[in-house]
Amino acid sequence: MPDLPQHRPVLAGARYNGMTAAAIRLEALPEGHLLHVLGAIEPVALAAELVKVGLANSSIRKAGFRQWFVAGDAPLSPAGLDALTAALAGKAFVMDQSHGRVRIGVSGRSSRLLLSKGTVVDLDPAVFAEGSSAMTMVGHISVQIARTGDDSFELTVLRSFAESLWDELRHMAASAEKDGV
């Protein structure tokens, strides 16, 4: 049926390399899977269950008290979601948020400076180590920031705010470039 809505990645092919490729890089990440897991399950136990259902390459990020986001680049089939839901039965609930959230990569030697222009989270590696995540605001937009490497971060945002966040990040990057960072 031609009148049915078609899935279109919000930031399809969006990329930004500011100043030099090493200074600031913004990248729309694949719209793979993003699951919201709620329950009294520890990350180690959740990771073990992810391995059992073929999601070993997914990352686990704290999203609140007894809440986790499980993110990955590969799309998750309905059978995979059913398998994880069954594996976590009695321990946690799983909600597929893949259709409703978008991930943006921010990397480069000036990535912390760029993000500090929009959020109050202390991104110093001694405080916010690799694997850390925090729910925060970037400007007026609610975002989860996860540190994925020394100079790399992943921002997860509601799909309807993805383009606004992308524009805000590009604006902050241009501002940093003008400041000579």
CA distance 154 to 164: 16
Is 112 contained in some domain?
yes
- Report the CATH number that the domain containing residue 173 is assigned in CATH: 3.30.1360.120
Q: Are residue 65 and residue 83 in the same domain, yes or no?
A: yes
pLDDT score for 30: 87
Q: Are residue 69 and residue 112 in the same domain, yes or no?
A: no
pLDDT score for 172: 87
Q: What average pLDDT score do residues 41-45 get? A: 94
Residue 104's closest CA among 23, 181, 18, 170? 170
What is the domain extent for residue 150?
24-30+100-178
CA distance 135 to 148: 15
Average pLDDT over the chain reads 88
Last residue of a domain, one of 68, 96, 124: 96
CA distance 158 to 180: 32
pTM of the model: 0.86
Instruction: Record the tokens describing residue 76, joined without a space.
Output: 């998750």
Residue 57's closest CA among 132, 148, 167? 148
Q: How many CB atoms are located within 10 Å of the residue 97 CB?
A: 18
Q: b/e for 34-64, b at 16 or more Cβ within 10 A?
A: bbbbbeebeeeebbebbeebebeebbbbbbe
Question: What proportion of the chain, given as a percentage, has pLDDT over 70?
Answer: 86
Q: What average pLDDT score do residues 115-131 get? A: 94
Whether residue 154 contacts residue 143, with contact meaning beta carbons closer than 8 Å, is answered with no
pLDDT score for 174: 81
pLDDT score for 19: 45
Whether the CA torsion 85, 87, 89, 90 is positive or negative: it is negative
Residue 9 — very low, low, confident or very high, per pLDDT cuts 50/70/90? low
- Report the CATH number that the domain containing residue 47 is assigned in CATH: 3.30.70
Residue 173's closest CA among 21, 7, 9? 21
pLDDT score for 103: 93
Residue 126 — very low, low, confident or very high, per pLDDT cuts 50/70/90? very high
Q: What average pLDDT score do residues 28-50 get? A: 93
Nearest-10 crossing angle of helices 43-52, 78-87: 130
Last residue of a domain, one of 96, 124, 144: 96
Residue 49 has pLDDT above 80, yes or no: yes
For the stretch 58-78, pLDDT in tens is 999 999 999 999 999 999 989
